Chain A
Amino acid sequence: MVTEKDVEHIGELADIGIDTSELAIFTGQFNAIVEYFDVLDRVHGDDAVARDLYNVMREDVVEPSLSQDEATRNAGAQEDGFIKAPRVM
């Protein structure tokens, strides 16, 4: 059973910004969906990722790419050709 407090906590972790007025409806929907997910309890075995994988990474090679202007053009807040972000401290 997922509680409103759980949903509030998850909303905080996901930076989704939940109003207290939204908690009841999200919690109700969450419980219906999570209850449906419980069918996964009937899944047996634990061999999920036995695949033939190989490394496709390569050494980094510098190639022509976006200009600074192109790369920053969509940013809402800029200063001196750099992207401005909210304060972290």
Chain B
Amino acid sequence: MAVHTINFEPDDRYNAFLKVCAKPSHSEGKLAGIAVAVKDNISTQGIETTCASKILKGYVPPYDAHAVGLIKNAGAAIAGKTNMDEFGMGTSTENSAFGPTLNPCDTGRVPGGSSGGSAAAVAAGMVRMALGTDTGGSIRCPAAFSGIVGFKPTYGRVSRYGLIAYANSLETIGPMATNVSDVSLLMSVISGNDRKDTTSYDKPYAHTPSADIKGLRIGIPEEYFGKGVDPDVGTVVRRAIARLEELGAVTVPCSIPSMEYALAAYYVICTSEASSNLARFDGVRYGPAADTKKSWHAAYQDVRKQGFGPEVRRRIMLGTFALSSGYYGKYYAKAQVARENVRKDFTRLFSDVDVLCGPTMPTIAFKFGEKSDPLSMYLSDILTVPVNLAGIPAISVPCGKVQGMPVGLQVMGRPFEDERVIDVAYAYEQAVKP
């Protein structure tokens, strides 16, 4: 197959990239010659992959993530690796060990996180598409804050092989772009079965977006417009939903009672999984070397104290605590029951409605340093985490502005009805197209 190269010399004034590939090669295919940016927690053979952490500085993966192999085979040129909150732990990209990414819409504000570099690279026009990952909203949040489209596929539809694990039961790789058609195109390349991921599902996505939503039933959960949600954001999103009604959709008020404890359940589960997954970073197989003359406890503690940032250390400790003897029943076991209740709420609602709509984020992008205590940052994930707990597909599509900053409309769908979620976003996008 013919191999070509492109020139990629972006003006990265937003610190979107941790690594730029100046002359990436590409082959023929659906994505021929398209520059695609890849979040830095997705393995790229021969290209340094750090998860924006000092503990992986210098790590060069010997293999490609399954999704990366697929986009390369489809002709994409890997433009570089994008900045993120360290290991995906954050909502602002302020937790990167290599400095924050700036929001191209207002450089005094965060781009959202954790896939903030991918969002900024797309929003600033440096690349047409990017891969992000979404554990509790990490694709949808930066898409909403930076004014682009971000899609979190159904769990299992995109292989996680080569995605450096943070919270396996929640996270997925997904596409980001300026418009729904490009998101759909990238999704059609990265989805499908992979036997190297035991949670992979054999349901390839081969869909062309359709704007016909006549008769579609849209549930409007009251919690998505309730306490903690900026009323101006709510107004913009309600106006977008009214637009969907004009296109023939029917809206139905509804409620997700389990949202009362969904966020707590999410943070117990993701930190518990993180405490286990991140145990592998000990300076032996990769990253800065451990002092082999010391005893292993002392050597590991040195490496991990130096290598992990404060948020990562906090989450590893929270997870260790939630799983520790005496607390497991109170936190981890309860969180699993809460997760099941979230799933049941969605199942009940989806027996009556086809999709659910609401804001992606409760506010517009915040200013740097605005959320300085960890809990207030966690609370901004309230509208995105239920989707990850249930494993369902959801998209964020730009739907207007508040104080000059973008607002995202979130559309959530039944498991494996990724196509329908894409269609609703596409219908909205086409209706408001200038």
Q: Which of B91-99, B134-142, B238-246, B310-318 contacts A (4 or more CB under 8 A)?
A: B310-318
- A16 pairs with B316, CB closer than 8 A: yes
Q: Least Cβ distance of A27 to chain B in Å?
A: 10
Among A13, A46, A70, A76, the residue within 8 A (CB) of B287 is A76
- A39 pairs with B260, CB closer than 8 A: yes
Closest to B307 in A: A17
Chain A, 30-85, CB within 8 A of any chain B CB: 30, 32-34, 36-37, 39-50, 56-57, 66, 70-71, 73-77, 83-85
List of B residues within 8 angstroms of A26 by Cβ: 314, 317
List of A residues within 8 angstroms of B431 by Cβ: none
A to B CB contacts below 8 Å, 21 in the list: A14-B275, A14-B317, A15-B300, A32-B375, A36-B264, A40-B330, A41-B330, A42-B260, A42-B261, A44-B337, A47-B340, A48-B336, A75-B285, A75-B289, A76-B286, A83-B284, A83-B285, A86-B290, A86-B295, A86-B298, A88-B295
- Is A10 interfacial (CB 8 A cutoff)? yes
- Is B301 interfacial (CB 8 A cutoff)? yes
List of B residues within 8 angstroms of A88 by Cβ: 295-296
- B337 pairs with A16, CB closer than 8 A: no
Closest to B60 in A: A74
List of A residues within 8 angstroms of B59 by Cβ: 74
List of A residues within 8 angstroms of B198 by Cβ: 56-57
Q: Least Cβ distance of A11 to chain B in Å?
A: 6
Cα of A13 to Cα of B316 in the assembled complex, Å: 10
Tell me the dominant secondary structure on chain A's binding face: loop
List of A residues within 8 angstroms of B284 by Cβ: 75-77, 83-86
Cα of A10 to Cα of B324 in the assembled complex, Å: 9
Listed residue (B198, B302, B320, B378) with the most chain A CB atoms within 10 angstroms of its CB: B320
Cα of A29 to Cα of B321 in the assembled complex, Å: 13
- Is A5 interfacial (CB 8 A cutoff)? no
List of A residues within 8 angstroms of B335 by Cβ: 40
18 further interface pairs, Cβ-Cβ under 8 Å (given A10-B324, A18-B305): A6-B321, A7-B317, A15-B279, A15-B297, A16-B308, A29-B373, A32-B375, A36-B375, A37-B268, A40-B334, A42-B260, A43-B265, A43-B337, A48-B339, A49-B340, A66-B62, A75-B285, A76-B289
- Is B374 interfacial (CB 8 A cutoff)? yes
List of B residues within 8 angstroms of A48 by Cβ: 333, 336-337, 339-340
Listed residue (B265, B297, B333, B337) with the most chain A CB atoms within 10 angstroms of its CB: B337
Cα of A85 to Cα of B295 in the assembled complex, Å: 10
- Is B415 interfacial (CB 8 A cutoff)? no
- B296 pairs with A29, CB closer than 8 A: no
Question: How many A residues touch the partner, as a band?
Answer: 35 or more
Cα of A36 to Cα of B330 in the assembled complex, Å: 13
Report A's interface with B, CB cutoff 8 A.
Answer: 2, 6-7, 10-11, 13-19, 26, 29-30, 32-34, 36-37, 39-50, 56-57, 66, 70-71, 73-77, 83-88
Cα of A36 to Cα of B260 in the assembled complex, Å: 11
- Is B304 interfacial (CB 8 A cutoff)? yes
Closest to A65 in B: B63
Query: Known interface pairs A77-B289, A87-B296. Does A40 touch B338 (Cβ–Cβ under 8 Å)?
Result: yes
Listed residue (A2, A66, A86) with the most chain B CB atoms within 10 angstroms of its CB: A86
Q: Least Cβ distance of B302 to chain A in Å?
A: 6
List of A residues within 8 angstroms of B349 by Cβ: none
Cα of A23 to Cα of B316 in the assembled complex, Å: 15
- B317 pairs with A86, CB closer than 8 A: no
List of A residues within 8 angstroms of B107 by Cβ: none
Query: Known interface pairs A32-B373, A86-B294. Does A73 touch B62 (Cβ–Cβ under 8 Å)?
Result: yes
Cα of A43 to Cα of B51 in the assembled complex, Å: 34
- B261 pairs with A49, CB closer than 8 A: no
- A14 pairs with B316, CB closer than 8 A: yes
Q: Beta-carbon contacts of B250-292 to A below 8 Å, as 1s and 0s?
A: 0000000000110011011000000100010011111111111
Closest to B298 in A: A86
Closest to B305 in A: A17
Listed residue (A73, A75, A83) with the most chain B CB atoms within 10 angstroms of its CB: A75
Closest to B333 in A: A48
- A86 pairs with B337, CB closer than 8 A: no
- A29 pairs with B301, CB closer than 8 A: no
Q: Beta-carbon contacts of B386-408 to A below 8 Å, as 1s and 0s?
A: 00000000000000000000000
